Amino acid sequence: MFSFKSTMFIKVFKYLIITLIIVLVSTSCTKEVDFNQVNNIQLTPVIESSLVFINEPANRFLVNGTEISGLQDSANIDVFNDEFVIDYLEKAEFLFQTTNSINRGFQVQVDMLDDFNQIRHTFSFSSVASPDNSDVVNEHIEVFEGNFLTALKNTTKLVFTLNILSGEPINQSTPGRIILKSKGTFYLNIQP
Amino acid sequence: MVIRKFCVFFILISCLASSQNKQLLYGFSEIPQSLLLNPGGKVTNMGYFGVPLLSQIHINAGTSGATIYNLFANDGLDFNLKLEKAIYNMQANDFFIINQQLEIFSGGFAFGNRFEKDKYLSFGLYQELDVIAYFPKDYAILAYEGNQTNINRVFNASHLNARAELISVLHVGVNKKVNKELTIGFRGKLYSSLLDINSTNNKGSFVTVDGTNNFYNHMFNLDLEVRTSGIASLNNDGATSESTIKDLRKRIFFWPNLGLGVDVGFTYQLTDQWMVDGSLQDIGFISHSKDVKNYKVSGNYVFEGVNPLFPETGAGQTAEDYWNAIEDEFNDLFKVDTTNTKYTTWRPVKLNASLNYAFGKKKYKDCDCLRGKSGYQNAIGLQLYGIKRPKQSQMALTTYYFRKVLNGLQTKVTYTIDSFSYYNVGLGLSANFGMVNFYIMADNIFEYKNIYDAQSVSLQLGFNVLFKKDEN
């Protein structure tokens, strides 16, 4: 009886050892992986965002019945010198699309100022008059790369100036309107 | 008709996905821990105790999407191309899971009247880590592509869906043999949540559409929340990994984020050879009231740009006010509100059911008789497993073959279909050396040749001391 039990024990033990070896050998088998590859991660999303817009009839350029030649406003803006933008913004493009149906040309100037109120970058675009009040469409693309990109990243204040160019005076019944649409395209390159 | 049935079957199969599935242990009545899966399971011993900290070690990890090897193989391919492939191939319902359990102590004994000990009491304490994270597809696409190529695409905020919990479970179960056919069981559980973090109820969207006054309208509609308990206090200044582990260890017994739950189950012997059983585990909840910190982002905003020269100012509002108002809108939208509101989490309920057929009586050379009560040496069966998860229930279907190789040595081979894979073969083994019982089981054994490329792996093993029934 004792010998029967001991041979059985050996059999059981043998099975167990074989199984264990199979499991252990097979678990230890892995093909080569390299987790450091995560350091190579590079994300290049392209974000588009609406910027400024204007959509006004001719008579909005009258104050007490008298034509105003220019309009100016400024705004403090802190998105361009955000740490994330400074680190990862590789290139930006601003697209301005004007649609003019007033029989007067106009010009828009954008001044970009830094914390010390110093102008870092200026650009402008214009539209010719529309004598027959049909839509005159113009597009301007301002590209920010290199020094211009650095200027953008230092910008904390924007000054917009709109000048109506000389021509037939505007009154309450002057037809047409000025439309400005704009968007920014931001090319990011995120490498942690 | 046949084709339709076939289609239904395949649709069912394609919905299958499992985690925490212990198909090898389920119904393996020679291993005392099988009572944790079905408190109404068959009991084959008179008593047992688990070797402390070694009675059940279980680890299970899985991915229904990309594997570690897909991403991190040292194959000279550009990592970003592999990442891109993973992002585009995975869907928002793909998920990653980790489940780990460690039994700290456990034991059990039979009791009843003098003639028949027909009841069995079992108890124990185990620690469990459970993590599930769904692939946040739309967030990944937005981070990867941006919105330029996705005008009019609605980015779904609910794609952020994940939960992780570290708990300890103190439990006591009773198993009663009602008659020759029926055995029923019940287990009460006291949960203690050591750590909890979840974000499973996010709503809202972000979309860029063509605008009227400007090129685009950007529409934000966000309602996101992350709830945590037991984490805020760990981030105290001066906390080290050592002190953190010490803090966590204390919480196994003395942490006030407690919950209650039950397991129920039965076994019914249809005939001498046919048997059905079933169980529900972890019908319960945990109430989180201490050390709670929740983070919430919510708001609606439509942005179409700013009108710098003709701001739509209200009465007495200057242009500067107009700019500030826009800035405030954005700040409000993305402002993270923190609260300490207590919350309740539900444990993932698990279902197990099986139909079994035993066959093949052992013949002895020395006498024409049967030894022991359960004379059958083999069993085959079909098991169904389901678990309730945040997005949808996951299921798995298993067929198995069980064999008593020798007295005191049993093996079980399983073939499981779930959405991790259609070729999951598992192997389990239980061996007794005198009073010591040792078991080891692993599924997806063919994937162990490259464990990093496995969709899922599960391994459990343990040691118990058994007091056997006097069979002869």
Give the domain ranges of chain A: 1-30, 40-188
The count of domains in chain B is: 1
**CB distance B103 to B169 below 8 Å:** no
Tell me which chain B residues have a C-beta less than 8 angstroms from the C-beta of A19: 427, 429, 440
**CB distance B51 to B471 below 8 Å:** no
| Residue A9 forms contact with B (CB below 8 Å) | yes
Which of A20, A53, A80 to mutate to probe the B interface, most B CBs <10 Å?
Answer: A53
Per-residue pLDDT of chain B (472 residues; tens, 9 = 90+): 444 554 444 444 333 444 578 999 999 999 999 999 999 999 989 999 999 988 998 988 888 888 877 888 888 888 888 888 889 999 898 888 889 999 999 999 999 887 788 999 999 999 999 999 999 999 999 999 999 999 999 999 999 999 999 999 999 999 999 999 999 999 999 999 999 999 999 999 999 999 999 999 999 999 999 999 998 888 766 667 777 777 788 787 767 899 999 999 999 999 999 999 999 999 999 999 999 999 999 999 999 998 877 766 555 566 677 778 888 888 888 889 999 999 999 999 999 999 999 998 866 555 544 444 457 899 999 999 999 888 888 899 999 999 998 888 999 999 999 867 788 899 999 999 889 999 999 888 777 666 677 778 888 899 999 998 754 3
> How many CB contacts within 8 angstroms connect chain A with chain B?
161
Cβ contact, residue pair A54, B309, below 8 Å? yes
> Quick one: B103 exposed, middle or buried, by C-beta within 10 A (0-12, 13-18, 19+)?
buried
Name residue, tokens 């408190």. B39
State how far residue A83 is from chain B, nearest Cα, in angstroms: 16
- Rounded alpha-carbon distances, angstroms, from residue B235 to A74, B229, B251, B255, B258: 44, 12, 16, 17, 21
- pLDDT above 80: residue A53: yes
- pLDDT computed for residue B10 by the predictor: 41
Name the nearest CA neighbour of B457 among B59, B103, B13, B56. B59
Give the chain B residue whose CA is nearest to the CA of A8: B406
**CB distance B122 to B32 below 8 Å:** yes
State how far residue B323 is from chain A, nearest Cα, in angstroms: 7
CATH entry, A40-188, from 2.60.120, 2.40.30, 2.50.20, 2.20.230 = 2.60.120
Per residue in A102-116, pLDDT tens?
999 999 999 999 999
State how far residue A134 is from chain B, nearest Cα, in angstroms: 19
- Rounded alpha-carbon distances, angstroms, from residue B466 to B46, B51, B390, B431: 8, 10, 39, 11
Cβ contact, residue pair B73, A11, below 8 Å? no
Range of the domain at B330: 2-468
ipTM, interface predicted TM-score of the complex: 0.82
The Cα B44–Cα B36 span in angstroms is 14
Tell me which chain A residues have a C-beta less than 8 angstroms from the C-beta of B442: 23, 27
Cβ contact, residue pair A33, B72, below 8 Å? yes
Structure tokens at B139: 């967030």
Structure tokens at B384: 């169904």
The Cα B437–Cα B410 span in angstroms is 11
Which of B309, B438, B459 to mutate to probe the A interface, most A CBs <10 Å?
Answer: B309
> What is this structure's pTM?
0.83
State how far residue B47 is from chain A, nearest Cα, in angstroms: 22
Name residue, tokens 């020759």. B180
Structure tokens at B123: 């108890």
Tell me which chain B residues have a C-beta less than 8 angstroms from the C-beta of A181: 213-215
The Cα B458–Cα B81 span in angstroms is 30
Cβ contact, residue pair B72, A41, below 8 Å? no
Phi, psi of A5 (to 5 degrees): -65, -40
The Cα A130–Cα A128 span in angstroms is 7
Cβ contact, residue pair A54, B431, below 8 Å? no
The strand pairing partners of A100, in sequence order, are A136, A178
Kindly report the length of chain B.
Answer: 472
Coil/strand/helix, residue A152: helix
State how far residue B75 is from chain A, nearest Cα, in angstroms: 8
Taking residue A99's Cβ as centre, other Cβ atoms within 10 Å add up to 17
Strands (E), chain A: 46-50, 54-57, 62-63, 66-67, 70-76, 89-100, 106-113, 119-127, 136-144, 157-164, 177-188
Tell me which chain A residues have a C-beta less than 8 angstroms from the C-beta of B303: 49-50
- pLDDT computed for residue B161 by the predictor: 94
In Å, how far from its chain's centre is CA B98?
7
The Cα B456–Cα B60 span in angstroms is 7
Which of B151, B412, B448, B458 to mutate to probe the A interface, most A CBs <10 Å?
Answer: B448
The Cα B343–Cα B370 span in angstroms is 58
Which of A21, A106, A110, A181 to mutate to probe the B interface, most B CBs <10 Å?
Answer: A181
Tell me which chain A residues have a C-beta less than 8 angstroms from the C-beta of B451: 27, 29-30
Burial code (b: 16+ CB inside 10 Å, e: under 16) for B283-297 equals bbebbbebbbbbebb
At B218, which CATH number? 2.40.160
CA-based radius of gyration for chain A:
34
Cβ contact, residue pair B449, A26, below 8 Å? yes
Tell me which chain A residues have a C-beta less than 8 angstroms from the C-beta of B145: 45-46
The strand pairing partners of A54, in sequence order, are A180
- pLDDT computed for residue B245 by the predictor: 79
Cβ contact, residue pair B215, A32, below 8 Å? no
Strands (E), B115-161: 119-134, 155-156
